[in-house]
Structure 1
Amino acid sequence: MSAPTWAGVEKGTELPAQRFTFGRADLVRYAGASGDLNPIHWNERIATEVGLPNVIAHGMLTMGTVVRVVTDWTGDPGALTEYGVRFTRPVPVPDDEQGATVEVSAAVTEKLDDNLVKVTIKATYDGATVLAKAIATVRLP
């Protein structure tokens, strides 16, 4: 995918939608890499005892994966200058071959000075929003 040019990007420009699937092995790898060994991310008994529907994906894993819709669009992860979200709902990850799929769409919502654009991201799991106020600021070439 080639990087967008500043002249061709306007408010309302839609980024290519993507789907990201998390399996239990992804949670184990992320736990090891991040040091977040909270058992709600790997132990179904503990997760359900605290009221969760199942083991859940790490919030930061979800956040970091979802923003790929933007970095894949720009072709340069370094173009991302700011990114923030509000976690609204966990992503339960079943112990099966399908895992949990998060559907992601995004659009340019504001064109700023200095080749910057704001992109609003929508991330859903099973039809429900998992990240609210997901906004990335990107510097285009």
Structure 2
Amino acid sequence: MRPGHEFEAQTYRLTRADLLAYAAASGDPNPIHQDEDIARSVGLPGVIAHGMLTLGLAGRAVATWTDDAEVVELGCKFTHPVVVPADTGVDVVVAGTVKSVTDDLVMIALEVTCGGEKVLTMPRATVRRVTTSG
């Protein structure tokens, strides 16, 4: 991996069933992730995905691109909700570009979008490259 290398974008379909499964696994049963009326009552455009689920998809893309290299940092700012329609679900697209390579660390700038709109600000990952001897 060299600076400027662009990874193939990864697309992940999120459905309401995914939100229910994530809520159970994470212990976050907030109804804005499950109930349309409650989500709208607090000013949201509809049921939204958990922010950490969206970031988790970015981590999944990084693992795919780097053959499960050790992720030493994964972060972002949550800036735009991912609305998940009940009938169709929604696609989240993760793209990445190598920003720098130093010693055994690779820094990757990410772009996470839904419907063409960025849903995370400053998403990034740092992975430790696997080195082989011999």
For 2:44, the aligned partner's letter is L
Q: Tell me which of 90, 94, 106 is aligned to 2:96.
A: 106
- 2:115 aligned with 1:120: no
Structure 1, unmatched stretches of 5+, are 1-8
**2:55 match: secondary structure:** helix
**Alpha-carbon deviation of 1:68?**
1.4
Q: CA deviation at 1:118?
A: 0.3
User: 5+ unaligned residues in a row in structure 2: which ranges?
Assistant: none
Percent of pairs with identical residues: 48
Match of 2:118 in 1: 129
Tell me the CA shift for residue 34 of structure 1. Answer: 0.6
Correspondence 1:45-60 to 2 at 5 A: 45-60=37-52
- Give the corresponding residue for 2:83: 92
Number of aligned residue pairs: give it: 130
**Which amino acid is the alignment partner of residue 90 of structure 1?**
P
SS at match of 2:54: helix
Match of 1:31 in 2: 23
Please say if residues 54 and 94 of structure 1, whose CA atoms lie closer than 8 Å, have aligned partners that are also in contact: yes
> Taking structure 1 as the reference length, what is the TM-score of the superposition?
0.89
Q: Which of structure 1's runs of 4+ aligned residues deviate more than 3 A?
A: none
| RMSD of equivalent CA atoms | 0.9
1:53-92 residue CA offsets vs partner (Å, 9 max, x unmatched): 110000011111122111111111x511111111110000
